[in-house]
Amino acid sequence: MTDPQVFQRVCQEARARAVSVGFVPTMGALHQGHGALITAARAHCDWTVVSVFLNPLQFSQQEDFDRYPLAFTEDLGQCRSLGVDCVFAPSAESLYPHGFQTFVEVRELSQPLEGAHRPGHFRGVSTIVAKLLCLVGPCHLWVGRKDYQQWKVIERLAKDLHLPVDVHAHPVVRDASGLALSSRNARLSTEEYARALSLVRGLREAGAAYGQGERRVSSLIALAADPLAANSINIDYVGVFDPENMTALSGTAPERALLALAAHVGDTRLIDNMVLGEDPVP
Ligand code: AMP
C-alpha cells in the first residue's frame, strides 16, 4: 500500500472491527531485528502493520542516504511470512509533497549522543514518526532498543503530543557473534565485519567490569573504547549516559547507566549500547 490517505482509511477500518493495531516503522532492508519487533507486535495485537520508508529527512547531505541498502521485494516476502497484515510503503513525494513545512522537534533529548553527531537527525525521525502515527491512529508501537535514544525521543514525543499510542521497546537483537543486527551490516566486507565485532567486545569488557563492581565512568569508557582503537575504528562517541534524560555522566556510574557508542567501520556507521546494571552482558 502506498497512498497515505488509503492507508489511513484502512487503519481506521481495522480499528472499527475492534481490533488492536500493532505498528512497526522501518526503513526497510529487513533483518531478524525487525523480525523480532514484528513477531512481538503480532503476539500482542490483532492486526499488525509495518511501514517501509527510507526517510530522507533524517539523513544529512553528508550521510549514507544514497548508499542505504534497499531490498523491497525481500522485505515484502519477509512481512508476508511473518504474518504482517498490511505493509505501508509510501513515496517520499506523497509524504513530503511540494509545500510541506511542518516539523516536529523533541528538544533536549535529541541533542546529545546521536544528535550531536547527526544534526537534524532526530527532527527528521520525530517528524516522520508523528506523521506515521497520524496515519495509523491509536496503536501499539514497537521500536528497538538498539536505537536507544530514538526510543526515548519517541516516548517523549508521544507523551508531549498526547498521541494515543503505547510504545514498546524490544531488546537489541544480535547475530551469533554478538554484533547488533543492522541493515547497514550488509555493507560490511568480511574484513570490516571482523573489525566491527570490536563494538560488542567493548560493551562486553565494560559490562563485565561493571558487573564486578567497576563504577568509574572514565574506566568504563576506556574499557569500551579500547577494542575500537585497537582495530583502527573511527569513534564518533563512547560514553556513559543517564538512561532517561540522556545526559552524559562522569565520576561514579549509578546503579543503572546507559553505555552507548557509535563508530565508523570503513564507510559504515554503526551504533550499539547496553544498560549497565540492567541488560545482560552481550
Ligand atoms: P530501521 O529500519 O533501522 O529504522 O529500524 C526499524 C526499527 O527496528 C527501529 O525501531 C530499530 O530500533 C529496530 N531495530 C533495528 N535493528 C534492531 C536490532 N538489532 N535489535 C532490535 N531492534 C532493532
**Separation of CA 170 and ligand 1 centre (Å):** 9
Which residues contact residue 247 at a Cβ distance below 8 angstroms, ignoring those fewer than 6 apart? 112, 241
Report residue 106 as a C-alpha cell: 523533541
Is residue 180 in contact with ligand 1, taking CB distance under 6 Å? yes
- Asked if residue 277 has pLDDT above 90, the reply is yes
Return the residue whose CA atom lies nearest to atom 6 of ligand 1: 26
Mean pLDDT of the chain: 97
pLDDT digits (tens, 9 = 90+) for 20-44: 999 999 999 999 999 999 999 999 9
Is residue 144 in contact with ligand 1, taking CB distance under 6 Å? yes
Is residue 184 in contact with ligand 1, taking CB distance under 6 Å? no
Atom of ligand 1 nearest to the CA of 24: 7
**Separation of CA 251 and ligand 1 centre (Å):** 31
**Separation of CA 40 and ligand 1 centre (Å):** 13
What was the pLDDT predicted at 18?
78
Buried b (16+ CB within 10 A) or exposed e, 144-177: bbbbbbbbbbbbbbbeeeebebebbbbbbbbbee
**pTM above 0.75?**
yes
Is residue 182 in contact with ligand 1, taking CB distance under 6 Å? yes
DSSP symbols for 22-91: EEEEE-SS--HHHHHHHHHHHHH-SEEEEEE---GGGS-TTSSGGGS---HHHHHHHHHHTT-SEEE---
Can you name the residues that pair with 170 across neighbouring β-strands? 144
Model confidence at 187, pLDDT cuts 50, 70, 90, reads very high
Is residue 205 in contact with ligand 1, taking CB distance under 6 Å? no
Residues assigned a catalytic role = 34
**Separation of CA 106 and ligand 1 centre (Å):** 20
pLDDT digits (tens, 9 = 90+) for 200-213: 999 999 999 999 99
**CB-based contact 41:20 (threshold 8 Å):** no
Is residue 167 in contact with ligand 1, taking CB distance under 6 Å? no
Return the residue whose CA atom lies nearest to atom 17 of ligand 1: 33
pLDDT digits (tens, 9 = 90+) for 80-112: 999 999 999 999 999 999 999 999 999 999 999
